[in-house]
Structure formats: structure tokens, C-alpha cells
């Protein structure tokens, strides 16, 4: 299966309210040989206030944010979605993408009325190179060079990791350059730690991951704390009845006797705290769970025979599993509906009629889009569709609706619209006050400050 390696550069680290400014991807075969590549930038949306720190890190200037030669965010995302569909089916893979780039991409697809599950439907799957690097570093010592940070801890930041392993990463924090560095690290893991690659890549499949975790066989869960691996012998012990991707695993270094006596509330408490007996993993997030045989000698704190005996006790107690299933469900009750549309992404799937309207919206003129936006049954899509018309072609809206969105824009930038709706002008100015760079940085900072204040 082909790989789609991708990366984003953004206005900040908030995966709900920040915006993709650059999207880059390289399509390769299973052997990592390049087939095609893609790199695109866009202007900033009117309601987004960028993080000054993000601009300084990526060398994005205020001039670039408003460059009339660049596409709008909406047009960029239409182009991105079209290209990714043309390359599919494939394995979408990046560096820390499951925690960062993937949520940002889904939010961008959602806000531009595209199918949000593009990367894991229609035969597509998702992987993450940082998980492979973490696994190889923990399970095959010295296979990969791990640099040490200024705080004397191992660091897995790509701009430090790739050069430490012989890659010349001259343009770090450019999306396309980071994609190239990610491909280098993926190939390095496959070459230097092939058994780890073969063991972990099947975990990109949610069903395969669930099957492995919930089997009666003990495995090892590898987690990281302060840059260092922690090895836990575990046995799968439960699955949420509401979200099949949420699984419970029991830490086999603990005696299960007390656990087996607990009711649902007690089991819920056993899932909390740093020394919790039950840990929660997500089968759709490529957890690092491997056979015990792959773990270096003397790494686990108990013998394999003791782990297997405890695992049999847990696996044979069907009542315990049912109580843990319920405890997992109770731990994550349904969220209250937000009034902020960005926070409503995972609320429900669009209906079939709205899916057809979304497809029609993409092909229509802006005048037609204004009409289609009013016809959506789903109030989230109706709001986002009208917002797109306001951002791209405001005079296609009737005067009253245009006035409502103008007020929304003013409130969003100032923070008056609602709490927790993204970075405000004041937030950005406060962040700027924390910087004290050299002459060049001060010039950049003043340029950013002027641009931000012009939005007030």
C-alpha cells in the first residue's frame, strides 16, 4: 500500500481554533520511492489571530499572511482534498500527526464542508512515525540516535532527531522539508529496527489493534514519561460500550486480587492517578503494544510466568470485564453540546441529503453557495456554509446576515463573542511581550505587532 507522508505549518498549536497555512505531502510506494509531491500555502482567514511564536518559528511574515497571490484557506482545502482523494487509498503518515496534524486537517475539512474522515475511510489508514521512533528507541537500544535537550532529557523533536541521525534538515519548520525528514526517519526505523516496524505497522488497523489488545495473551505497553520509555506488561480487560476504540488494559505488575472485587465505581477510580492499575489506550491511535518477546531482557519488573498467570485470572473473569466495560463508558460521558461550531465537529455525521448539498456547494458559484448554505438541515453545516460565503464573497449575503457576521468577526477577534473561541488580539499582544530577541527578532516582533494591532 502506498504512503502519503504529510505535514502542516499553522498559526499555532490549538487544533480546534488555529489554521493551516501550509500543507505539504509526498506520495511514495511501500519502498518509500517518491511517486508525486504537493506543496501549497494560503492566506490567513479574517477571524484567525496567529500565535507570534508560531510565526517566528516558521518564518511566516505578516506580508505572507495577506499575500493576494495565495489562495484563500477555503480554496486551498478544496485543492488539498482533491489531491488526497486522487492519491487514495493509502496510509496517511506524518510525524506526531495523530496528535496534531490529523485533528487540524479534520477541523479544516469540516470548516470547508469536506468529508472530515478522508484519512481513515474508503480504504485509507493512518500511521505516525513518532510512534515507530518511540518503539524502536525503547525496544532496540542504539538503533536510532536520540539527542539530548538543554534540560538533559531525550528529545524526539524532528528538527533535532533527523540531524542526529545523519539527515541534513536545513529548512526545519517548512512543511515540505519536514515531510522529507519524516520519510528519512521512517526508512531509518524500517532499516535499523525491522522487527519493530513489522510488529507495529499492523496496529494502524483499528480492528487488528483491538484484537491484539483484547486477546488472552499478555503484551507489553510502551509509554513515555519525560522522554524516557516505561515498559508495562498488560492484558486487555475491557472496551467502552459507547466508543469501541477506548480499551482498558490491566498493569500486570499489580496483583489483580483486589481489582477483581471492585464494583464499577471502584474500577473507575482504578483508572485514575499516576499509579493506576487500569490504563486506557485507543485502538485507533497506533498504540505501542508488542509481544513480550520483543522486550529487552531484564526490562520488565516481573517474570513472564507471573505475568501469564495474572493475565489468565483477568481473562477468565467475564463479570470483571463487563464492569470494566461500563466503567470505561462512565469515564467518558457524552459531552454537552457547545454553542461554538468548531467544538461540534464530532457531534454527529451529516445526513445523506446534507452530504449531497455539501457536494453541490463545492461546485457552485458563490451566489449559489449562499442559497445552498441556508438549505442545510444540520445547523453546524448551515453556519459554516454561511460563514464561508461571508469570508469569501460577503456581498452575496443579504445585508442583515452580512451585518451579523461582521459583528461576529469583531467579537471573535476581541474575545467578546464567547469564552474559549481561539486566540484574541490581546492574547497575541500578551504573547509578544514575552519575547526578548536580538535586533533581527525585535524587528520581526514589531512587524508582527503592527499587523496584529491593525486587526483591532
Higher-confidence residue of 442 and 155: namely 155
Residues 6+ apart with CB under 8 A from 253: 232, 233, 301, 302
Alpha carbon distance 373, 371 (integer Å): 5
Q: Residue 207: its pLDDT value, please?
A: 94
Alpha carbon distance 398, 390 (integer Å): 10
Output phi, psi for 449, to 5 deg. -60, -45
pTM of the full structure:
0.94
Domains of the chain (ranges, CATH numbers): 1-204 (3.30.420.10), 205-331 (3.30.1520.20), 346-453 (no CATH)
Mean pLDDT value across residues 427-437? 86
Residues in the chain: 456
Q: What's the pLDDT tens digit per position in 392-421?
A: 999 999 999 999 999 999 999 998 766 678
pLDDT band at residue 426 using 50, 70 and 90 as cut-offs: very high
Q: Residue 310: its pLDDT value, please?
A: 95
Q: Residue 419: its pLDDT value, please?
A: 60
Q: What's the pLDDT tens digit per position in 94-138?
A: 999 999 999 999 999 999 999 999 999 999 999 999 999 999 999
Q: Residue 124: its pLDDT value, please?
A: 97
pLDDT over threshold 70, residue 171: yes
Q: Residue 143: its pLDDT value, please?
A: 94
Alpha carbon distance 122, 139 (integer Å): 33
Residues 6+ apart with CB under 8 A from 67: 43
Mean pLDDT value across residues 374-403? 97
Mean pLDDT value across residues 256-281? 93
Q: What's the pLDDT tens digit per position in 40-89?
A: 999 999 999 999 999 998 889 999 999 999 999 999 999 999 999 999 99
The C-alpha angle with vertex 290 and arms to 242 and 313, in degrees rounded to 5, equals: 65
Amino acid at each position: 500500500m502506498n504512503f502519503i507522508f504529510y505535514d502542516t505549518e499553522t498559526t499555532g498549536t490549538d487544533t480546534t481554533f488555529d489554521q493551516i497555512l501550509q500543507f505539504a505531502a509526498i506520495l511514495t510506494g511501500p519502498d518509500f520511492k517518491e511517486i508525486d509531491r504537493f506543496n501549497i500555502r494560503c492566506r490567513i482567514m479574517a477571524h484567525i489571530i496567529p500565535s507570534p511564536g508560531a510565526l517566528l518559528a516558521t518564518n511566516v511574515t505578516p506580508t505572507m499572511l495577506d499575500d493576494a497571490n495565495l489562495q484563500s484557506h477555503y480554496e486551498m482545502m478544496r485543492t488539498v482534498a482533491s489531491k488526497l482523494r486522487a492519491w487514495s487509498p493509502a496510509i496517511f503518515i506524518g510525524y506526531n500527526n495523530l496528535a496534531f496534524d490529523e485533528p487540524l486537517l479534520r477541523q479544516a475539512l469540516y470548516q470547508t464542508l469536506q468529508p472530515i474522515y478522508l484519512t481513515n475511510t474508503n480504504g485509507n489508514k493512518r500511521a505516525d512515525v513518532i510512534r515507530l521512533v518511540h518503539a524502536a528507541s525503547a525496544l532496540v537500544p542504539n538503533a536510532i540516535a536520540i539527542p539530548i535537550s538543554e534540560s538533559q532529557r531525550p528529545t524526539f523533536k524532528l528538527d533535532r532527531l533527523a540531524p542526529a541521525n545523519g539527515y541534513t534538515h536545513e529548512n526545519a519548520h517548512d512543511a515540505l522539508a519536514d515531510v522529507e525528514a519524516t520519510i528519512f526517519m521512517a526508512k531509518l526505523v524500517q532499516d535499523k529496527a525491522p522487527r519493530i516496524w513489522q510488529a507495529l505497522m499492523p496496529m494502524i488497523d483499528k480492528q487488528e489493534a483491538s484484537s491484539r489488545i483484547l486477546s488472552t495473551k499478555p503484551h507489553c505497553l510502551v509509554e513515555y514519561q519525560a522522554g524516557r520509555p516505561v515498559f508495562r506488561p498488560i492484558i486487555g480487560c475491557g472496551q467502552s460500550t459507547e466508543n469501541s476504540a477506548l480499551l482498558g488494559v490491566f498493569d500486570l505488575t499489580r496483583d489483580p486480587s483486589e481489582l477483581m472485587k471492585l464494583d464499577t465505581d471502584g474500577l473507575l477510580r482504578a483508572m485514575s492517578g499516576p499509579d493506576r492499575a487500569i490504563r486506557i489506550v485507543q485502538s485507533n491511535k497506533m498504540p505501542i503494544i508488542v509481544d513480550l518477546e520483543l522486550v529487552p531482557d531484564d526490562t520488565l519488573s516481573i517474570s513472564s510466568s507471573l505475568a501469564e498467570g495474572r493475565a489468565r485470572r483477568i481473562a477468565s473473569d467475564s463479570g470483571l470485564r463487563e464492569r470494566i466495560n461500563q466503567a470505561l463508558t462512565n469515564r467518558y460521558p457524552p459531552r454537552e453540546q457547545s454553542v461554538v461550531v468548531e467544538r461540534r465537529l464530532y457531534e454527529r455525521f451529516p445526513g445523506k441529503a446534507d452530504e449531497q448539498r455539501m457536494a453541490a456547494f463545492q461546485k457552485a458559484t458563490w451566489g449559489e453557495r449562499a442559497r445552498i448554505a441556508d438549505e442545510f438541515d444540520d445547523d453546524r453545516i448551515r453556519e459554516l456554509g454561511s460563514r464561508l460565503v461571508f469570508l469569501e464573497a460577503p456581498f452575496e449575503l443579504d445585508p442583515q446576515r452580512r451585518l451579523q457576521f461582521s459583528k461576529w468577526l469583531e467579537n471573535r477577534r476581541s474575545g467578546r463573542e464567547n469564552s474559549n473561541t481561539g486566540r484574541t488580539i490581546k492574547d497575541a499582544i500578551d504573547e509578544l511581550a514575552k519575547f526578548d530577541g536580538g535586533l533581527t527578532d525585535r524587528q520581526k516582533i514589531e512587524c508582527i505587532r503592527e499587523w496584529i494591532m491593525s486587526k483591532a
